[in-house]
A = this chain, B = another copy of it.
Amino acid sequence: MIEDNDQIPGLDAKASKLVASKGIFITAPKGAKVFEPGKKCELFYLLTCGSIRVQIVAESGREIVLYRVGPGAACVMTVSCLLGHSPYSGEGIVEQPLEGYAIGFPLFQELMSSSQGFRDSILGDYSERFIELVEVLEDVAFRPLESRLAARLLQLDNGFGIVPCTHQFLATDLGSAREVISRLLKRWEDRGLIALERGKINILLKNSLTNYKDHSRPG
C-alpha cells in the first residue's frame, strides 16, 4: 500500500489520494497477461512500479512490440479502448513485476475532468506513443531486417560487446521469425562480425555492425 505522503507517479496530490482510496491495489508477477486481443476493456492501470509490454500477435505466433508502459505513463491502447468502448487489439504482458492501482471507467472519467495534470499526461502519452508507433510501422514495412537487427544488437550491447538474449527474443522484438533471425546471425558469425553462444551474442566487430545498421536508416 501507498503511504499518505506518497504519490502515484504522474498524478498530483489530490488525484493520487482519490485513486489510492477508490482504486483497487494490484500486483502481478513477471509474464502475467494484463489484457489480450478481443477482451473487453474495463479497467485503467496506474503503475507505481514494474512495466508492461504491449504488443500485437499474429495467428502464426509472430509478435510486434508496440510500446512499454511504466510508472507515470498511461497505456494508450487501454485509453483508446475505454473511450471507444472497443475491445483490445493487442496484448499486455508484465515484463517487470508490477504494482499499482486499477480504476474503473467512472473514476477514470472523473480524473479526466477534474485533473488538468492527468489530462495533459494522457495527451502527452498519446502524442509520444503515436510518433513511436508510426516509427515502428516504418521500420517493419520499409526498413531491411538486417539493418534493424544490427541496430537492436548495438542497442542491447551492455558495453562489453555482449548481448545476453535468445534469437526468439530478438525475433519477437523485431516482429520477425526466429529462423530468419538465426540465419542472419549465422551469416554474420561466418563473416566474423559476431560470435554465437546459447542465449548470448558476442559483438566482435562493432563498426561493421554499425555499417549494416546505417545502410538503410540512421538510428
Contacts and interface: CB of A to CB of B under 8 A. Distances in A.
Interface of A: 56, 58-60, 62, 64, 66, 76-77, 79-81, 83-84, 86, 89-90, 119, 122-124, 126-131, 133-138, 140-142, 175, 216
3 nearest CB pairs, A to B: A58-B142, A126-B126, A80-B127
B62 A134 contact: no
A138 B137 CA distance: 9
SS of A interface (majority): helix
| Listed residue (A66, A79, A136, A142) with the most chain B CB atoms within 10 angstroms of its CB | A142
A127 B78 CA distance: 9
B133 A84 contact: no
Contacts of A84: 127-128, 131
Nearest to A60: B142
- The copy count of this chain in the complex is 2
A56 B142 CA distance: 10
A142 B83 contact: no
Contacts of A123: 83, 119, 122-123, 126
Contacts of A127: 79-80, 83-84, 126
Contacts of A216: 59
| Listed residue (A62, A83, A122) with the most chain B CB atoms within 10 angstroms of its CB | A83
19 contacts: A56-B137, A59-B142, A64-B137, A66-B134, A76-B130, A77-B131, A77-B134, A79-B127, A80-B128, A80-B130, A80-B131, A83-B124, A89-B131, A123-B123, A123-B126, A126-B130, A130-B133, A137-B140, A140-B140
